[in-house]
Amino acid sequence: GAGVSQSPSNKVTEKGKDVELRCDPISGHTALYWYRQSLGQGLEFLIYFQGNSAPDKSGLPSDRFSAERTGGSVSTLTIQRTQQEDSAVYLCASSRRTGTGGYEQYFGPGTRLTVT
């Protein structure tokens, strides 16, 4: 079946511009996550959506970062006024959120963001 998809695969932007990154989770998965993978920081959690509950935004590094999930499916991560330190691979994952343990998360291919 189709996996998690992300677009664009690569994005180069100038410092100070806004960018939007898109994630399409696996059909039927109710939980959606954003992570960031960078050389200096490794893999970091950013934000988590589960159904209609309020998202867990505890990993967002600044108020320039925001995300929304429309209709319980597609999600968009927005970075405003991009800075060079925002350069990273942004990963989206989804899970079925089973009732006990597991909570296996399946990752998309990522969006490589380069801020010049």
Partner 1 sequence: GNSVTQMEGPVTLSEEAFLTINCTYTATGYPSLFWYVQYPGEGLQLLLKATKADDKGSNKGFEATYRKETTSFHLEKGSVQVSDSAVYFCALLKAAGNKLTFGGGTRVLVKP
What residues make contact with partner 1 under the rule CB under 8 A? 31, 33, 35, 42-43, 45, 48, 50, 56, 58-59, 91, 93, 100-110
**Nearest distance from residue 34's CB to partner 1, in Å?**
10
Q: How far apart are CA 15 and CA 63, in angstroms?
A: 16
Distance between alpha carbon 87 and the CA centroid of its chain, in Å?
A: 14
For the bound state, the minimum distance from the C-beta of residue 33 to partner 1, rounded and expressed in Å, comes to 7
Residue whose CB is less far from partner 1, 9 or 83 = 9
Distance in Å, CB of 26 to partner 1, minimum: 13
Q: Which two tokens stand for residue 94?
A: 């989804």
| CA angle, 28 then 33 then 38, to 5° | 140
